[in-house]
Structure 1
Amino acid sequence: MSLNFHTMHDKNPDIVASLARLHEHHFGARPTVITGLQGDGSDRQIFRLSSDANEPVIGIYGPNRRENEAFISFSRALHQHAIPVPIIYTYDADAHIYLESDLGDVTLLEWSNQHDDSSSVLTMYRQVISWLPKVQLTSKDSIDYTKCHPFAAFRREAMQFDLDYFQSSFLSRFLRIRLDNAALANDFNLLIAHLLRAPFDAFMYRDFQSKNIMICNEQPFFIDYQSGRKGALQYDVASLLFDANVNLSHSFREAMLEFYIRETMRYIPIQEKKFLTFYYDFALLRMLQALAAFSFLVFQKGKSYFMKSIPNALQNIAFLLTQDDCMLRRLPELRRLFEEDVLNNPQALS
């Protein structure tokens, strides 16, 4: 039986053939249609495989074996706790391919854009957020942290990596700003020292944002947690509520943050004041990492559509500059860079 390929002009035919064989080996039937799907920021190639014998499934080729193994290991651990993630059907480690359940094509970002009714969006975000503490806390002892890649915990080394990434990719390459490296390094050290005081005994999803949450039958499902690691609770909820792909109002963010804290207190006690001591600073670190990633994807990967996310991320930074609880106001060089060089830069804001 010949395969019917759709939108495959930029796909490797050897990968497609390998996925077809894996499908036949696992399900006992050759796929009749294989459709290439649009990825986002990663180097993975994603396909939908359909056959007459079973429901469509997703086939993925991931060139990074450690990343694949982290995703598969975490998926199985999360699934044990009834968390809505893809089911992993089969994995060929040597070929860097695996098959998982098909969750459709609608992300939380797309779903939100299709619903003008603010109450519907609020309800969906509450559904999403109600799952987050379960992901972070009930699964944490089932996660195999030896599979984490590239860091097993979001501690000093990982934080420094993100800050160096921001400096090199966004400040130096994208904006080409002349930097006082010593002053900036001092600010980075102060920020890291502060964040290291936060409890970090949770499973940190790492990329908990609207493009990594699928809406299937009006229910949220979670994907792309392969960079997960042990970390602080605040990072993931800040990643969602300061998502540069979505313009969320301050009042919406505050309501969702309060809801998250209440939901998390169903699992562990939380001192709200202490939690908020670190929340905006993890939001800051997330925004710096996002600015670096957007710059890298635009200039190194040629994915120009990420350019539109940079002004949104900078709007979030501008908001953080107004918050007394955010350490950015007390980091003199980083604050100066944003107030004098970045937030007035036409290239960054266009």
Structure 2
Amino acid sequence: MQHQKFFEDFVGRNADSFQKLPQSGSSRINYIATSAGTKYLVTYNENIRENEAFFYFSKLLKDLNLNTPTVFKINEDKNLYIQEFLGSKTLSEIISAEKESNRVKNLVQKSLKSLYELQTKTAGKADFSHSFEYERYDSLPIMHDLYYFKNFLIDVLEIEYHKSTLLKEFQKISEVVQKQAPKVLMIRDFQSRNILVDDKDDVFFIDYQGAMEGPAGYDVISFLYQAKAKFPEDFKAEMLDYYLSFWQTEFDRKALKSSFHWMMLMRFLQVLGAYGFRGLIQRKPHFLESLFLGIDNIFELSTVWTQISTDFPELYALIQKLKTQAARLKIEALIIE
């Protein structure tokens, strides 16, 4: 097998083990390889542009001594590479097992502090022309995320809405979201499934190849408000305050606070689009399991943040319809098929 041979050429001996890992939402194929008592992660991915973005950001973050993996070797075709093995347990798995234990709180705080360090240490140093799909969180990715929600959840469920009204609301949302600050390196898929925890309870970030320039609040909200974590409201509020405490100026703290609801709106809608596509269409279990939790998130936001109902009534009506028994029955029917 060429993937194993590539690894064995790197270590200069036969592998003690070479085990393929289950795939989740990505097309990447990962292996845990062991040689002379040391573990490595071997990755095969045919998407060269995605790989090149990962290689660039890996070097940038490692050069800044941030908690990300070292890439040891890349093949000539740039579709196979060996990286540092940072642990086999994700923060998501620990949260599922321990809920809001003291250990979980400590790991969440470590993750938020490391995120702040990543956001500030990379300021002015990242060349976003190396980004995979988008250089910045402007109208292109924002409208893509909004359409993702519409196309792969609302349209799949055949929920009625007034098309031009909804699309005009999407444009208004995009205009406001683009103005949110402060701007930093935004990982975009910053969640506990993409945080590894080692034997010393140190945390490491993975899956940052989608990084772009964007508002700092996006990754914080993605992390603390992920549907499957089910963090209580008081815990999320406490952790948001903890994260805000790192920012030195009142100007930045105020900008972040004013961005949080907008970031929730964007992240919740994007995630629902992903759950619709990966779950209802591609039938991937993880995404199906989280769909109703994602609906709960956006519905709860619509009840506490009145700006959705006042400024975006068509979107607000859609959110209410998602929470109805009729929508639930449609989703359950699609899950069973």
Q: What's the TM-score, normalizing by structure 2?
A: 0.92
The amino acid that maps onto 2:188 is R
Q: Give the corresponding residue for 1:158.
A: 141
Q: Give the corresponding residue for 2:335.
A: none
8 Å CA contact retained: 1:241, 1:248: yes
Q: Give the corresponding residue for 1:27.
A: 11
8 Å CA contact retained: 1:284, 1:328: no
CA distance in 1 between counterparts of 2:16 and 2:101 reads 41
CA distance in 2 between counterparts of 1:71 and 1:219 reads 22
Q: Does 2:296 match 1:309?
A: no
CA distance in 1 between counterparts of 2:258 and 2:160 reads 32
SS at match of 2:228: coil
Please give the per-residue CA displacement for 1:135-172, whole angstroms capped at 9, x wherever unaligned.
Answer: 11212333231221110000111101111111111111
Please give the per-residue CA displacement for 1:318-343, whole angstroms capped at 9, x wherever unaligned.
Answer: 2211223754653100001111x211
Please give the per-residue CA displacement for 1:158-213, whole angstroms capped at 9, x wherever unaligned.
Answer: 1011111111111112x121231101011111111111221353100110001000
CA distance in 1 between counterparts of 2:121 and 2:160 reads 46
The amino acid that maps onto 2:275 is F
CA distance in 2 between counterparts of 1:47 and 1:279 reads 37
Judged with a 3 Å threshold, the aligned counterparts in structure 2 of structure 1 residues 329 and 28 are, in CA distance, closer, same or farther, namely farther
RMSD: 1.8
The amino acid that maps onto 1:19 is H
Q: Give the corresponding residue for 1:208.
A: 190
Aligned length in residues? 329
Unaligned residue ranges in structure 1 (runs of 5+) = 1-16
Q: Does 2:118 match 1:135?
A: yes
The structure 2 residue matched to 1:273, chosen from 229, 251, 254, is: 254
Q: Give the corresponding residue for 1:243.
A: 226
Q: 1:113-262 counterparts in 2 under 5 A? A: 113-116=96-99, 118-173=101-156, 175-199=157-181, 201-217=183-199, 218-262=201-245
Which deviates more, 20-29 or 126-135? 20-29
SS at match of 1:56: strand
Q: Give the corresponding residue for 1:48.
A: 32
The structure 2 residue matched to 1:58, chosen from 32, 35, 41, is: 41
Q: Does 2:56 match 1:73?
A: yes
CA distance in 2 between counterparts of 1:329 and 1:41 reads 35
CA distance in 2 between counterparts of 1:300 and 1:156 reads 26
Q: Give the corresponding residue for 2:22.
A: 38
Unaligned residue ranges in structure 2 (runs of 5+) = 333-337
CA distance in 1 between counterparts of 2:307 and 2:105 reads 26
Deviation, 1:260, is 0.6
Please give the per-residue CA displacement for 1:283-330, whole angstroms capped at 9, x wherever unaligned.
Answer: 110111101111111233331331111111111112211223754653
Q: Give the corresponding residue for 1:10.
A: none
8 Å CA contact retained: 2:53, 2:132: yes
8 Å CA contact retained: 1:207, 1:239: yes
Judged with a 3 Å threshold, the aligned counterparts in structure 2 of structure 1 residues 347 and 142 are, in CA distance, closer, same or farther, namely farther
The amino acid that maps onto 1:283 is M
Which deviates more, 134-143 or 319-328? 319-328
8 Å CA contact retained: 1:191, 1:327: no
Judged with a 3 Å threshold, the aligned counterparts in structure 2 of structure 1 residues 120 and 274 are, in CA distance, closer, same or farther, namely same
The amino acid that maps onto 2:11 is F
Q: Give the corresponding residue for 1:318.
A: 299
CA distance in 2 between counterparts of 1:117 and 1:280 reads 23
CA distance in 1 between counterparts of 2:266 and 2:234 reads 21
Deviation, 1:95, is 5.4
Deviation, 1:61, is 0.6
Deviation, 1:264, is 3.0
CA distance in 2 between counterparts of 1:215 and 1:270 reads 33
CA distance in 1 between counterparts of 2:330 and 2:94 reads 28
Q: What's the TM-score, normalizing by structure 1?
A: 0.89
Q: Does 2:272 match 1:291?
A: yes
Using the aligned pairs only, state the percent identity. Answer: 25
Deviation, 1:80, is 1.3
8 Å CA contact retained: 2:48, 2:78: no
